[in-house]
Amino acid sequence: MSAAAVMAVVLVLFFLVGVAVGVLVVVALSARRAHKAVPEVRPVAPPPGTWPYPPKSDSEEGGPDEPPWWHTRDSD
């Protein structure tokens, strides 16, 4: 083998080792970051009568004894 061929093989091996080390570093840092992360805590449901559940009120619009607006037709 000539010197140029030996040098080409050495450079290819150096390149492949560098890529492998880079991949291992990225995986290791990702695993470390995931391990140190604070676990997510799910929020507790708000008590009834607070947002997004407004308190029941006697309003003029709608109600259990009135039909919904999409069911009523005036002059069809």
Higher pLDDT, 61 or 75: 75
> Cβ neighbours of residue 46 under 8 Å, at least 6 residues apart?
52, 53
Q: 32 lies in a domain?
A: yes
Q: 70 lies in a domain?
A: no
Per-residue pLDDT of 5-32, as tens digits, reads 999 999 999 999 999 999 999 999 998 8
Reported as a pLDDT band with limits 50, 70 and 90, residue 70 is low
Residue 26 belongs to what domain range?
Answer: 7-39
Can you tell me the distance from the alpha carbon of 6 to that of 4, in angstroms, rounded to the nearest whole number? Answer: 5
Please answer whether residues 51 and 57 qualify as being in contact, where contact means their C-beta atoms are separated by less than 8 angstroms: no
Please answer whether residues 46 and 52 qualify as being in contact, where contact means their C-beta atoms are separated by less than 8 angstroms: yes
Q: 49 lies in a domain?
A: no
Instruction: Determine if the peptide bond prior to 52 is cis (ω within 30°).
Output: yes
How many separate domains does the chain show? 1
